[in-house]
Structure 1
């Protein structure tokens, strides 16, 4: 399913006026589904154009070129009235599959919903915000405020631990995708447009509430930290003799039987259960005695190499996974690309070969394929011509005025 013309959103046009992670990740996901996503930036690029990580070879942003794969790129002088008018015109262009906007612009009232709906009453406008009250927020500030940073980290530490993955940004991006598709469905059925606002802080707090964590805290107080132990079940990491580490998780009776069989500890745990008057066949029992279970299992791992651990756990049907660095994953992909099929080697202009990814969703058992990010602003003339009907003479005039690059 690599041909964009055969993807589910082929023919849909979305204008993205956004930066950083949440909204751009939604635009990338929509492009992977076949939509024509036109990212509009100020001349010279938005504030995220040089965001780390950067290519060691060329200095180009690996971040920007990864999150903007498969999009068209337009740059305009958005400080000028004419540049703003062009952006508004692109965002509200006619057509049943057009007039869809995703943005996270702050302090740009000229691009607000009122300005958009005045030009196209059935416009679909999805806006990403920091907080619902209009305040600023990013993933790191949201995570701390949601209470999650106080739940992670070593059990003997009271310091908050930030996460590296911008999880709330990425989840917010998928909320944007859902909102765009739902609004498009409503417009197809009723002719009605939509004004959707999604606050990053709301995404985080709703997710934590939906897991029952706030209700738990209201009843029992703040949850104690568990280090790498799972909460409410048995799961923890173990070190092999060569220093490799694996995570073992037990969620079902079959998995409990598997880890005991693999490690030859069935009789030991039966005896412990009897002596403790504990039911280790339940999540509650294993969780209560997690440190004892860990202590019994630890020597088995310490006596085996990572390769032996992998072979024996897999053979027994244990639920487990290795710990790897990102460099390990990159090297593994280079050696065995078929083992990580969602990843793809891609020639990125301005950088060289990079590790890209398909959409995780497989349609008819096939990945969607991937595409390089284009050079900043390289589609400006074509997009203005195709969407707005601007002819060469006017493009020449816009260039002379500095409205387009």
Structure 2
């Protein structure tokens, strides 16, 4: 039996943050019913190319292990079916604009009347107060939430909708905590997660620099504000990263590079000194690294215990994960899927269902609802 077997999740979310959260819960055994608009479905069904056999890979990425029912929530009959689903569910997840579910008669207060034990998770961009009218797009959150100010050389977004992903993780964590509370109290509750709040939390040391010390971090490209060397270096053929996080690793790095004198230099003896003398030290290290290839340095430095690695594309990244025995991809009824990264000995993730066609489970859902 899976960890979340027996749980029914009514998934009114679309695009990324909500669907990612519900897929993670589905992998752990929950039955997820994805409510979609008739004829159109989740926006990501049309977000291509790329496609796999005519299906958008974006949609395929976050919707396995779910069942789809197409409901027009403006239609009274379909809305009653949605209410029946809410009354039957253990968890509801939604990421409409604030107020939308209330106007549909499916808001938290109405849902609680139907189902007092319901865990009701709302995902918004900027909350339900003053930020209710701000659009909850990942790119907007990256911009106004500070991530772009510290990424790359400034005004650079992450290469994936990272804020949505982090928010989905927080949503799944909040749902699990609320379910645990329900086990002991019998009470459901509201779980609220925002893109902005999740991003500020995920900025960890950068946010802490501001909150605790009043320091406003700036973009430093691939460099770390507090550790040197911890960045991208060129080699004889392609770039690699080196992350020497302590004095011992730095001394080992210098020895492998054939420059033990750098570790003996008073300017570089401590991390604080290396941060202060960053430019001169990086120039010395760059000269030494230019003598061999990235793969040669990766082998030599890794064997010596210095954290490093070549900059891989995704194909090489998946190859590495496979070579390390991490099984990064799975096949679910002929659809390639990214494996759930959580490993549980007793109740591992399961891949029961491929991402559904729009409305394919209408009959199944209506049967369990007695409709």
Q: What TM-score, normalized by structure 2, do the two folds share?
A: 0.89
Aligned to 2:271: 283
Whether contact under 8 Å (2:27, 2:65) holds in the other structure is yes
When residues 85 and 139 of structure 1 are mapped into structure 2, their CA distance, relative to the original with a 3 A threshold, is same
Instruction: Give the equivalent residue in structure 1 for 2:210.
Output: 214
Larger displacement relative to structure 2 (357-366 or 125-134)? 357-366
Match of 1:142 in 2: 141
Deviates more, 1:19-28 or 1:317-326: 317-326
In 2, Cα distance between equivalents of 1:339 and 1:207: 27
- Give 1:248's aligned residue: 242
2:370 to 389, 402, 405: 389
CA distance in structure 2 between the aligned counterparts of 1:174 and 1:388, rounded to whole angstroms: 29
Q: State which drifts further: 178-187 or 359-368.
A: 359-368
SS of 2:45 mapped into structure 1: coil
Number of residues of Structure 1 aligned to a counterpart in Structure 2 = 359
Q: Aligned with 2:148: secondary structure? A: coil
Greater shift, 43-52 or 80-89, is seen at: 43-52
CA shift at 1:80, angstroms?
Answer: 1.0
1:65 aligns with 2:60: yes
1:192 aligns with 2:187: yes
Q: How far did 1:347 drift?
A: 4.9
Superposed displacement of residue 68, structure 1: 0.2
> 1:188 and 1:205, CA in 2 relative to 1: closer, same or farther beyond 3 A?
same
1:373 counterpart (336, 355, 365): 355
- Higher Cα Rg, which structure: 1
**Structure 1 residues 370 and 259 mapped into 2: Cα distance closer, same or farther (>3 Å)?**
farther
Q: Structure 2 stretches of 5 or more lacking a match? A: none
Q: CA deviation at 1:267?
A: 2.0
Matches within 5 A, 1:114-133: 114-132=109-127, 133=129
Is the Cα–Cα contact under 8 Å of residues 240 and 304 in structure 1 kept in the other structure? Answer: yes
Deviations 1:203-237 (A, max 9, x none): 22344477413236x634x3343222111111121
Give the equivalent residue in structure 2 for 1:49. Answer: 45
Decide whether the 8 Å contact of 1:359 with 1:367 is kept in 2: no
Structure 1 position 353, deviation (Å): 4.8
2-side partners of 1:92 and 1:258: how far apart? 62
Instruction: Name the structure 2 match of 1:308.
Output: 296
Question: Structure 2 CA distance, aligned partners of 1:359 and 1:90?
Answer: 27
Aligned counterpart, 2:322: 337
Partner in structure 1 of residue 107 of structure 2? 112
Residue of structure 1 equivalent to 2:339: 358
Gap regions ≥5 residues in structure 1? 1-5, 391-405
Q: Give the deviation of 1:282 after TM superposition.
A: 2.5
The separation in 2 between residues aligned to 1:263 and 1:298, in whole angstroms, is 10
Q: Which of 125-134 and 197-206 deviates more?
A: 197-206
Partner of 2:309: 321
Instruction: Go from structure 1 to structure 2 and tell me whether the alpha carbon gap of 1:289 and 1:342 turns closer, same or farther (over 3 Å shift).
Output: farther
RMSD (Å), alpha carbons: 2.2
The answer on 1:229 being equivalent to 2:229 is no
The two structures have a TM-score, normalised by structure 1, of 0.82
Task: Give me the whole-angstrom Cα distance separating, in 1, the residues matched to 2:191 and 2:332.
Answer: 36
State the Cα distance separating 1:315 from its structure 2 match.
1.6
Take 2:163 and 2:340, find their aligned partners in 1: how far apart are those partners? 19
Task: Check conservation: 1:360, 1:367, Cα contact below 8 A.
Answer: no
Alpha-carbon separation, structure 2, partners of 1:268 and 1:79: 70
